[in-house]
């Protein structure tokens, strides 16, 4: 089915008021496009496969909404125009407030990402989605099946691949792993498939729970070998206590550099003496920031690796 799409050009400072007005007018869903930089809180809630820097904010926002063909288009547009006049009357800068009409196909937005995710390799590991078949020549490879759903983490991003390669260097059959910002669970799943003893994952996104459960199941992971926790390990003492102290041989954090800075002193308490801290999600111009943070926390830098414009820093907690 084709929908009628309407896109309003306005100013970023008017986004919230206009969004509320549209909801009051009976519009059930909107999309907002702008170039407003992420807040610190938003950055803390974003785990890889997202770039830390965006384009410069130009103050312009586009608010799109969709109406079914049989809806009264003119009546709804009139409600929106009247709402815009009212907001402007409050002295709010709404910009040119033009509305452009177009048509769009009905889409399955939740599953749309699937067309961009195909099987690929990280050295001798084959990572594939459930809807693709294993080629005959790949049957001897270590197979990891990942369907991220709405949680981050397919493994395609350079930061994830950097972590995978570092994990392989330090994993043993006795490894207790803490995976901070676990997303789809890919790093924990690979670690367990490579022989790690047990893993704990933390994430802020409740969507990660179902994504991890499904991915663990399809990869034949024993449910008792993995524990999932939702919460902020940086700020929530309850999560820190549940995770446990000096329990982990390896802590892996594939998170943006801005989050690694406050995370590192916390993680120090979770690592066993002699434990290894593997970080990634670091854009190359933030390498020095993370290295300095790691050193200030008393960790010894073992290795700094690069892939594309991304960096992984691996360090050890002294005995």
Binding site as annotated, residues? 160, 181, 203, 254
Contacts of 27 (CB under 8 A, 6+ apart): 65, 67, 76, 80
To the nearest 5 percent, what fractions of the chain are helix, strand and coil? 35, 30, 35
Count CB atoms within 10 A of the CB of residue 232: 16
What b/e string do you get for 186-197 counting C-beta neighbours within 10 Å, with b at 16 or more?
bbbbbbbebebe
What is the token pair recorded at 218?
């399809």
What is the token pair recorded at 284?
């190359």
Q: Report helix, strand or coil for 22.
A: helix
Phi-psi domain of 190 (left: phi exceeds 0; alpha: psi -120 through 50; beta: other): alpha
Residues forming a β-bridge with 106: none
Given a contact cutoff of 8 angstroms between Cβ atoms, the answer to whether 25 and 76 are in contact is yes
- Considering only CA atoms, give the Rg of the chain: 23
Count CB atoms within 10 A of the CB of residue 233: 24
- Cα-Cα-Cα-Cα torsion 173, 186, 255, 316, nearest 10 degrees, comes to 10
Of 207, 309, 95, nearest to 215 (Cα)?
207
Count CB atoms within 10 A of the CB of residue 271: 22
Annotated binding site for S-adenosyl-L-methionine: 160, 181, 203, 254
Contacts of 179 (CB under 8 A, 6+ apart): 185, 187, 188, 191, 199, 200, 201, 202, 252
Of 194, 160, 158, 200, nearest to 177 (Cα)?
200
């Amino acid at each position: 089915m084709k929908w009628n799409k309407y896109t309003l050009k306005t100013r970023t400072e008017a986004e919230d008021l206009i969004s509320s007005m549209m909801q009051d007018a009976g519009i059930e869903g909107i999309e907002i496009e702008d170039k407003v930089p992420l807040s610190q809180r938003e950055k803390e809630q974003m785990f890889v496969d997202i770039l830390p820097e965006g384009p410069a904010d130009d103050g312009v926002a586009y608010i799109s909404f969709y109406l079914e063909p049989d809806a009264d288009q003119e009546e709804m547009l009139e409600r929106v125009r009247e709402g815009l006049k009212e907001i402007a009357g409050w002295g709010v800068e709404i910009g040119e407030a033009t509305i452009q009409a177009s048509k769009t196909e009905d889409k399955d937005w939740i599953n749309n990402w699937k067309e961009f995710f195909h099987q690929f390799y990280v050295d001798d590991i084959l990572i594939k989605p459930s809807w693709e078949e294993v080629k005959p020549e790949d049957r001897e490879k270590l197979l990891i099946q990942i369907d991220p759903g709405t949680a981050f983490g397919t493994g395609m991003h350079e930061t994830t691949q950097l972590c995978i390669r570092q994990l392989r260097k330090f994993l043993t059959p006795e490894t207790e792993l803490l995976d901070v910002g676990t997303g789809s669970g890919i790093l924990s799943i690979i670690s367990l498939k490579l022989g790690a003893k047990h893993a704990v994952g933390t994430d802020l996104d409740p969507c990660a729970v179902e994504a991890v459960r499904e991915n663990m199941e399809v990869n034949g992971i024993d449910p008792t070998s993995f524990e999932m926790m939702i919460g902020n390990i940086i700020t929530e003492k309850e999560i820190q206590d549940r995770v446990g102290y000096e329990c982990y041989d390896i802590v892996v954090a594939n998170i943006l550099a801005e989050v690694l800075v406050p995370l590192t002193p916390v993680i120090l308490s979770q690592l066993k003496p002699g434990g290894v801290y593997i970080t990634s999600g670091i854009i190359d111009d933030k390498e020095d920031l993370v290295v300095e943070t790691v050193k200030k926390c008393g960790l010894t830098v073992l290795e700094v690796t690069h892939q594309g414009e991304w960096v992984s820093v691996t360090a050890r907690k002294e005995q």
